[in-house]
Structure 1
Amino acid sequence: MDGRKAAAVEEGAAPATPLLQAWEEGRRRGGGATSVQTLGNVVVSIVGTGVLGLPYAFRTAGWVAGSLGVAAAGCATLYCMLLLVDCRDKLEDEEQDEIYHGHYTYGDLGEKCFGTIGRCLTEILILISQAGGAVAYLIFIGQNLHSVFSQLMSPAAFIFAILLPVQIALSFIRSLSSLSPFSIFADVCNVLAMAIVIKEDLQLFDHPFANRNAFNGLWAIPFTFGVAVFGFDGFSMTLALESSMAERKNFRWVLSQAVAGIIVVYASFGVCGYLAYGETTKDIITLNLPNNWSTSAVKVGLCIALAFTFPVMMHPIHEIVEVRFESSGFFKKLSHNVRGAEWLGLHSSRMAMVAIVSVVASFIPAFGSFISFVGSTICAMLSFVLPALFHLSIVGSSMSLWRRLLDYGFLLFGIAFASYGVVTVILSH
């Protein structure tokens, strides 16, 4: 769900290449990424701003329940990512002469299983999840800028007065590789933010477990699980990452190592944040930090970096909208008859999508509740329902009974969890 999820190193010591481009290059040539590079790319594709909402989720569920929720979400996500790799392996064995040999996308799997409807459903869910991530970006940036410059304007005003014009200007950049340095900068700022949060947390540890709940009841667990699933989201990149490796047989082990490490980091970060601030923990943990020069510099730096990686998050949305736009009869006729109409139409669609996302972000008051909702609905469908469906359809006939039952379990769990997320939002309004 993070903009940096669209950037990873394809081979050797080459600069970061957006995975949306790397996958296309992978169709023309084999991947050359080493295991170490792929490990780093997996971490980049998964870890994003959602981690900064984990301490609030731990406050909601309790530090023990939160830790268990993060571990469960990580293990479930890893299993379902490996289901996609199983599907790719099966198709590769069956279709050795295919041009897409070894280079299937998530949408390709949907089409292989359920035809055009399967591809459309998969890509629509990816589109919505990208839009949700883009909205979360703007909420995060607006609230952090407001925490540093509270005397200037509200979070919504920051979105409209500063972020919207900047993002409209950046939407004219069509080459994502030119934005890759900002992805690296965003990663550095994210690490610095986590380090400063932990440093501040440790300074507050007097009696860390006093008045801190370990378990707040069963009804709090889905909220935390939704935030954790949002934090582990990176499914649309799984097959591209696997294809980018020089030794693809090592991908399962590399992916397992990365997810295990992320689970430890997420759980530790969530526990430290909650133990430090207790019931005053905010839904974006950086908002708990004092406004001294170091924390303010990290907040502003993180906001700037995320603002420049926001176009990467929007890129899949622009691609889908532009393809539909260009295929319409009206647009074809207009482009043929009016000079410059194609350029104007495509960039107008980009500006419109940025504006729509900005408007949505300005009306969402709570970052934590929003990412939990996205995680428990759209991300649950992408992370659990579709992988289980695809695995049953492609590999099901050759699986043992217990593997089929396990897949059905993930399928039913994903549907139930997504339904719960929708019902919770409806009842809360």
Structure 2
Amino acid sequence: MGGKVINESVTLRDHEARPNYGATEHDDNSVFIEDPYINSAGVDPSENEQKGSNWSAYINIVCLIAGSGTLGIPYAIQQGGWLSVIILILSAILSIYANIKLIECLYHNGTRRSSMSELAYYAFGKVGLYIISFFFNIVTLGCPVIYLILCGENFHSLLSMVGIDIGIKSWVYICAVVMSVPFILMKTMKEATWLSIFGALTTALVVLVVFFTSISEYPKNSQNQHDLLIIRDIPLALATFSFSYGGNTVYPHVEASMANPRDWPKILSLATLTITIMYLSIGIPAYLTYGRTTLSPIYLNLPSGFATNMSVIMITAHILLALPIYQTAFALEVENYIGINVQNLGKTREFIYRVAFRLATVLFTTYCAINLPFFSDVMALLGSMGNGVLLCITPIIFWIKLFGWNQLNGWKEKSLVIFTLVFSALGAVTGTLDALDALWKDIMREWP
């Protein structure tokens, strides 16, 4: 993402930007919805079949956010003690608030920006574009690389137990081929809905397995000790909880795919509530059972056999399903930037160019997963900074820059904004320091 920015924003007629997002009221009281991303891609916005339902937006959010991070929630509670559950719930509330603000910013002055990077350019010029594009690309391109590594390790671990040992690198190649098919073939976030459905189901199954296994194991572990509050480790728990709601880099694309974008606050709130219920359902019973011995990922605490293997299988399936969605968000941003759309190229050339670009993306991520040392640690470091900046801080800073501090609703909302910025900054700094420590330890272990 370079120094220029896409000038394909969609002007919304007779529209006051904030309240109704993409909805434009007409004299006959009917509502006309424009889909900005589809329009910028050269597709007639009147073609309703190109637009996703509220359900598809909801399921996309749940799949993207409630993923492999679910397995770390019990350990985060162990770090902070029982009262850290309040921080988890607070993280959810602040994430909803900040990302409603994010979408409001997209429609500032009645013109819809297509992405967070374009919004950054609109609000802060080239400096904003460079900073946000860097973090955006780190999250949306780097996460798939980490996911590929994790998938390869999981398959190697599972199948080695039954005598199939072809090496982690071979499994990474196989996973890359599997995930490349939907990534190359599906064009927008709306077409990713079927992946999200299965991805959300796999996460739900993991939650159920850990939930029931933890309850059944409680009598054997009732002697385990618990803490009400561990003040010194609260920042570490905060970092985990904050990043457990990361992924809002794709929210502009999810909202753009909605036939009724004015329903965004409702859909985001419902999806975040669902994710939070999943987190509480896996975190509370697991910490209750394993107490101070709780590990991350939580399946390390489960008895060997069905429960552990099922958890690993389901979370690996989720990762494979979430991979194409993350990469689609990255591809949509870059394709829009370099003009790979039907309007510029026509349907045939657009398809050829899109397939070529996405194939190159798959090859690049696979190369990074196979060849770069300490890549997981480096990405954890950059991801901590990136998610910390993008999740709550950036949307609120954008909103204040575009709408003005005095447009906040009195001192109650102003106090909420200040608290959100401090809360998020603490999580970002703590997560970054923790990732730096892990990277340093791995380097010293490898190169003493």
TM bracket, shorter-chain basis = 0.7 to 0.9
The equivalent of 1:117 in structure 2 is 127
Match of 2:65 among 43, 46, 55: 46
Identity of counterpart residues, as a percentage?
21
The equivalent of 1:197 in structure 2 is 210
Label 1:362 to 1:88 Cα distance change in 2 as closer, same or farther (>3 A): closer
The equivalent of 1:333 in structure 2 is none
TM-score by length of 1: 0.73
Whether the 8 Å contact between 1:242 and 1:248 is mirrored in structure 2 is: yes
Match of 2:252 among 215, 239, 246: 239
* Distance in 2 of aligned mates of 1:260 and 1:343: 36
The equivalent of 2:237 in structure 1 is 224
Label 1:281 to 1:419 Cα distance change in 2 as closer, same or farther (>3 A): closer
* Distance in 1 of aligned mates of 2:66 and 2:126: 31
Q: Is structure 2 residue 177 aligned with structure 1 residue 164?
A: no
Q: Report which stretch shifted further, 264-273 or 315-324.
A: 315-324
Corresponding residue SS for 1:355: helix
* Distance in 1 of aligned mates of 2:229 and 2:39: 44
Label 1:204 to 1:370 Cα distance change in 2 as closer, same or farther (>3 A): farther
User: What do the CA deviations read for 1:235-255 (whole angstroms, capped 9, x no partner)?
Assistant: 123333434444444332332
* Distance in 2 of aligned mates of 1:298 and 1:426: 29
Match of 1:186 among 199, 207, 215: 199
For this pair of structures, how many residues does the alignment match?
Answer: 385
Label 1:27 to 1:117 Cα distance change in 2 as closer, same or farther (>3 A): farther
The equivalent of 1:274 in structure 2 is 287
The equivalent of 2:407 in structure 1 is 398
Displacement after TM superposition at 1:281 (Å): 2.8
The equivalent of 1:83 in structure 2 is 101
Displacement after TM superposition at 1:220 (Å): 1.3
Query: What value does the CA root-mean-square deviation take over the aligned residues?
Result: 4.2
Displacement after TM superposition at 1:228 (Å): 1.7
Give, as a single letter, the amino acid of the residue that structure 2 aligns with 1:53.
Answer: G
Displacement after TM superposition at 1:326 (Å): 11
Q: Is structure 2 residue 127 aligned with structure 1 residue 127?
A: no
Whether the 8 Å contact between 2:144 and 2:365 is mirrored in structure 1 is: no
Match of 2:417 among 390, 399, 407: 407
Q: Report which stretch shifted further, 402-411 or 79-88.
A: 402-411
Q: Is structure 2 residue 360 aligned with structure 1 residue 356?
A: no
Whether the 8 Å contact between 2:236 and 2:430 is mirrored in structure 1 is: no
Give, as a single letter, the amino acid of the residue that structure 2 aligns with 1:56.
Answer: Y
Whether the 8 Å contact between 1:50 and 1:231 is mirrored in structure 2 is: yes
Corresponding residue SS for 1:206: helix
Whether the 8 Å contact between 2:206 and 2:310 is mirrored in structure 1 is: no
For 1:7-406, list aligned pairs within 5 A: 24=41, 28-29=45-46, 33-65=52-84, 67-89=85-107, 91=108, 94-95=109-110, 98=111, 100=112, 104-151=114-161, 158-167=167-176, 170-171=179-180, 174-176=184-186, 181-206=194-219, 210-293=223-306, 296-297=309-310, 299-300=312-313, 302-304=315-317, 306-307=319-320, 309-317=322-330, 347=359, 350-359=362-371, 364=376, 376-396=384-404, 398-399=407-408, 402=411, 403-404=413-414, 406=416
Runs (5+) with no aligned partner, structure 2? 1-35, 341-351, 441-448
* Distance in 1 of aligned mates of 2:170 and 2:361: 20
* Distance in 2 of aligned mates of 1:225 and 1:287: 22
TM-score by length of 2: 0.70
* Distance in 1 of aligned mates of 2:256 and 2:357: 35
Q: Report which stretch shifted further, 134-143 or 40-49.
A: 134-143
Give, as a single letter, the amino acid of the residue that structure 1 aligns with 2:143.
Answer: G
Runs (5+) with no aligned partner, structure 1? 1-18, 328-339
Displacement after TM superposition at 1:296 (Å): 2.8
* Distance in 2 of aligned mates of 1:342 and 1:41: 22
Give, as a single letter, the amino acid of the residue that structure 2 aligns with 1:51.
Answer: T
Whether the 8 Å contact between 2:155 and 2:171 is mirrored in structure 1 is: no
Label 1:210 to 1:287 Cα distance change in 2 as closer, same or farther (>3 A): closer
